Structure 1
Amino acid sequence: MALAVVQDLREHRATASVQEIVEFETDVLSGFVLARSAAGLADSTIRSDVTNLEQVRAWFGRPLWEWNPPTPTRTSATR
């Protein structure tokens, strides 16, 4: 088993511009469409999936990867 050196890149990267975020979202969505198409899904299914993703994105008003799931709280059911 080999070990690798891992570095946190968030500290060294400059903040992305609006244009870079738009381009990244376009690339991710294109990859999603290509993967669904390669899996043999119908065009109408892919179109529906893309529409749903665009609606969620518009509703949040910012890139989806910026949203983190809420931190779970400890309840009596988990004790």
Structure 2
Amino acid sequence: MARWIRAQEAAALLGVHPSRISVLLRQGKLTWRPDPLDARVHMVDAEQVQAILNERRELYGDRESEAAGEN
């Protein structure tokens, strides 16, 4: 069973602006569903967010994760 996190939390984990999450949704890289408590809030699959993080670490090493931590 998938674990779902708020899109805003996903943006923070990825170190990107929340609008970038919308781009990832349109590209089909993230699956979403409405928050059961607030349909205006997007929930995204945490495993897919982790996969994007892993892919970035493979490409860029820890440079990107270190830069994201500085913000």
Q: Which has the larger radius of gyration?
A: 1
Greater helix fraction, Structure 1 or Structure 2: 1
- TM-score, normalized by length of structure 1? 0.26
Greater strand fraction, Structure 1 or Structure 2: 2
- TM-score, normalized by length of structure 2? 0.28
